[in-house]
Amino acid sequence: MEKDRLPGYRGSAREILSKAGASVGDRVAIVLTDGGRVEGTLMPRYELADDRHIVVKLDNGYNIGVRVARIQSIEVIARRTLPTPVRAPPPEIRAKERVVILGTGGTIAARVDYVTGGVTPVFTPEDLYALVPELSDIARIETHLLFNIFSENMTPQHWSRIAEATADAFRQGADGVVIAHGTDTMGYTAAALAFALRKLPGPVVLVGAQRSSDRPSSDAATNLIAAVYTAARAPFAEVVVAMHQTRSDTAIAIHRGTRVRKLHSSRRDAFKSVNAPPLAVFEKGELTLLTQDYRARNSDPPEVDARFEPHVALIKFHPGMPPDILEYLHDRGYRGIILEGTGLGHVNVSWVDTLRRLTKDMLVGMCTQTIWGRVNMRVYSTGRLLLQAGVIGLEDMLAETALVKAMWVLAHTDDLEEAKQLMLTNFAGEISERLIE
């Protein structure tokens, strides 16, 4: 399929450009109805903008919009000839460790075309070494692009594919795997991989960027350096997330995949470990473990079990909410519900009857919408009633992690009792016996 020569243009703007035979990148001369004249390079149109303007880049580098209604004529003066890029020669790779980087979306590296303003994600090892030269001292990199989607569009099927590809990478000899991922649902994927990768020989590090990687201030490069270093050299064999620890570029936190949540829409340090400290911190070129309690690197072959039951829902309770949403889900065949209750794990007492019925063939687990803290339904009567009604308290597990775990557990058993037991078994650090903060 031929690439669109007028990307973003529609309606009268597209018409007038097509008639002139112009393509984005061509040098055009526009004569206006009042005698004025604009000359420059034709630019693509922003997708949400109207169809009544065309965009031209002037010789001083600035873009301006010209109203179609004011255009008398457009002439193409010169076609764009794409010069061949001159790339720096690949650096000497001094490191020995092999790291595979799987791409799923989210741009960790990009180049800018200053002519059209286009930002092109780059993903080959040569490009990554060129844009982040520090990597050549850290690992030998291989890259595989699995797919390229916004992480909000991911589904459990994507988690399964990532898990399989990760296991494959280890089987082919990788010392560690890095997964480039959009930040929006990175926490969910991390939890999914923690459960799906039953046996791991080395680290699996998810990494993303809060600031687009085309800009000089992007956190992508520093996060990537930490991620690759961790994958290459960390002593643990766990699924983790590598993102900025603070608003400064100095330290990257390595969070356990089952413990991490995105807690800010835009800040670099959006990701925090909840109810637990991070596993490690990467600072000044070194990785410092914050605990000695981790699964160590080993030479066992990886084992994947990436089945997820998609019919599990996460419901956030609010005052006045009627319980009929639960009936609706039950009738649609949902096998599990994770509730984000209030406080220690409460919902309106009017829900108890509905829950008593539903828990006969559905798994219902309780987390807290306070995000932090442990659920304890034995303290207040509401909680006790909910326990009697068959709801299980999920300790200090993050609600999002509980959702993913429930999807995994329910794909492996039909026995509700076994499911409840599995939910309360600590597989990958998602439950802790002690909370100290």
User: Active-site residues: which are they?
Assistant: 107, 183-184, 262
> Segment contacting another protein (CB under 8 A): 112-120, 167-175, 191-199, 232-240?
112-120
Q: CB of residue 387 vs another protein: minimum separation in angstroms?
A: 42
- Number of helices and strands in the chain (H, E): 10, 23
For another protein, the closer CB: 68 or 394: 68
Cα dihedral across residues 362, 366, 367, 370: positive or negative: positive
CA distance 160 to 398: 21
Stretch that binds another protein, among 56-64, 285-293, 350-358, 412-420 (CB under 8 A): 56-64
Contact residue for another protein among 5, 70, 357, 412 (CB under 8 A): 70
Q: Does the footprint of another protein cover residue 228 (CB under 8 A)?
A: no
- Residue 76 DSSP SS3: strand
For the CB of residue 144, give the shortest distance to another protein in the complex, in Å.
23
Question: With CB under 8 A, what is the number of residues at the site for another protein?
Answer: 50
To which H or E segment does residue 293 belong? none
* SS3 of residue 409 by DSSP: helix
| CB closer to another protein, 216 vs 320 | 216
> Under the criterion CB under 8 A, does residue 240 sit at the interface with another protein?
no
- Label residue 107 exposed, middle or buried (CB < 10 Å: 0-12, 13-18, 19+): buried
Radius of gyration of the chain (CA): 26
Q: Across the chain, which distance is largest between two alpha carbons, in Å?
A: 82
Which of these, 130, 144, 217, lies nearest to 174 by C-alpha position? 144
Please, what is the minimum distance in Å from the beta carbon of residue 57 to another protein? 8
Q: Which is nearer to another protein, 221 or 366 (CB)?
A: 221
Q: Counting contacts by CB under 8 A, is residue 46 touching another protein? A: yes
Which of 18, 63, 388, 421 is close enough to bind another protein by CB under 8 A?
63
Q: Does 49 bind another protein (CB under 8 A)?
A: yes
- To another protein, the closest distance from the beta carbon of 90 in angstroms equals 13
Q: How far apart are CA 81 and CA 90, in angstroms?
A: 26
CB environment 280-299: b (16+ within 10 A), e (fewer): bbbeeeebeeeeeebeebee
DSSP for 312-337 reads: EEEEE--TT--THHHHHHHHTT--EE
Residue 224 one-letter amino acid: L
Q: Which whole-number Å values give the CA distances from 149 to 176, 183, 227, in the listed order? A: 23, 12, 21
Residues 246-285, interacting with another protein (CB under 8 A): 246-250, 266-268
**Contact with another protein (CB under 8 A) among 101, 221, 313, 398:** 221
Stretch in the footprint of another protein (CB under 8 A) among 214-222, 302-310, 324-332, 340-348: 214-222
Contact residues toward another protein (CB under 8 A) are 36, 43, 46, 48-50, 53, 55, 58, 60-67, 70, 83, 85-88, 111-115, 117-120, 130-131, 211, 214-218, 221-222, 246-250, 266-268
